[in-house]
Amino acid sequence: MADHMKLVEVLKGHKVYIQTHNFPDPDAIASAYGLKVFLHAFEIEADICYDGKIDKNSTKRMIDTFGIKLTHIDDIKNMGFEDYIVTVDAQKYNSNITDFPGDEVACIDHHPTVIPCAYKYSDVRLVGACASLIAEYFVKSNMTMDTTTATILLYGMKMDTDSFSRGVTALDIEMFSYLHAIADNKKISDLYSNSMELDDLRAYGEAIKNIEIYENIGFAYIPFDCPDALIAMISEFILDLDVVEFSVVFAARNGGLKFSVRNETAHFHAGKITSAALFDLGGGGGHFAMAGGIVTAENMEKLGSNLRVGVRNTFLEAIKNNAD
């Protein structure tokens, strides 16, 4: 039995929810939508749900353009412990996903596992976009994909790989070729253009004002809350500087800090370094080239009286101890 058919067998006969992480971005939304369409072909109906908020207008525009229905957990009154949940673009126990009442029986994700979970079905592979994994389900099942689903999946892939320039694997390239032939590529271009919002400039301005560079490592602090996707964009912006090969961008979040880390060296591993740096502060991890993490409010005092110096020293120590 093919792996994707194991998922179908697990979910048959159950009420199913597809849960994204708490601040769903285009890749998470595309993956959830594509999985919903895939399961519908096997007479399994599923509702897409999330906690947190959708805080970027560009993501809201994607949802409105395609009429994607996502339901906030506050609007779900009847989820029971016996209901099945499939997490997409996230894993149970991660800091960016709320534990809902239902049973997380399955996981489809493209990030490294931080805390293992005994799912009935697991598809965790380190690829550029989670949407690539979902697209492969259609290919392996010899299913015909409609234009809307292909467009949504391809847009999610494009956004999560920064136009296929970051973390791309052979599977992403294969799925790009498959989806590109079906998708409405003009609609993707229209969505992708003018994606920066006016409020984003304030965050960029603060990051530029606060940037500090130590050899090839760039640090930038944003002293207010902003969306995860924006923090990641600014981390990539810092990485584009010719003197920076490893970037650490952090923003205020719920009394603590939210981190986005990027790496383009051959001897650093963003995920391992972030995990080591934030191990007893909140947590973090990720891929070789990209990672994320948090410092919780109760651990902020461990960084000392000077926040930026505390973060800088914590990461420099982790880099020193984890460089190849």
* CATH T-level assignment (fold) for domain 3-192: inorganic pyrophosphatase (n-terminal core) (3.90.1640)
Range list for CATH 3.10.310.30 in the chain: 198-322
Q: Rounded distance, CA 168 to CA 226, Å?
A: 26
* Among 288, 293, 290, residue whose Cα is nearest residue 278: 293
pLDDT band for 1, please (50, 70, 90 cuts).
very low
| Coil, helix or strand at residue 122 | strand
**In whole angstroms, what is the distance from residue 222 CA to residue 225 CA?**
8
Regarding pTM above 0.85, the answer is: no
Q: Is the dihedral of CA 231, 232, 235, 237 positive or negative?
A: negative
Amino acid sitting at position 144? T
Buried residues in 109-135 as b, exposed as e (16+ CB within 10 A):
bbbbebeeeebebbbbeebbbbbbbbb
Q: pLDDT of 217-247, one tens digit each? A: 999 999 999 888 789 889 989 998 999 999 9
How many CB atoms within 10 Å of residue 173? 13
Q: Are 291 and 104 in contact (CB under 8 A)?
A: no
CATH assignment of 198-322, among 3.10.310.30, 2.40.37.10, 2.40.430.10, 3.40.50.10490: 3.10.310.30
pLDDT, the chain, mean: 92
24-83 residue pLDDT tens: 999 999 999 999 999 999 999 999 999 988 877 778 899 999 999 999 999 999 999 999
Strands 256-263 and 246-253 come out as antiparallel
Comma-separated ranges of CATH 3.90.1640.10 domains in the chain: 3-192
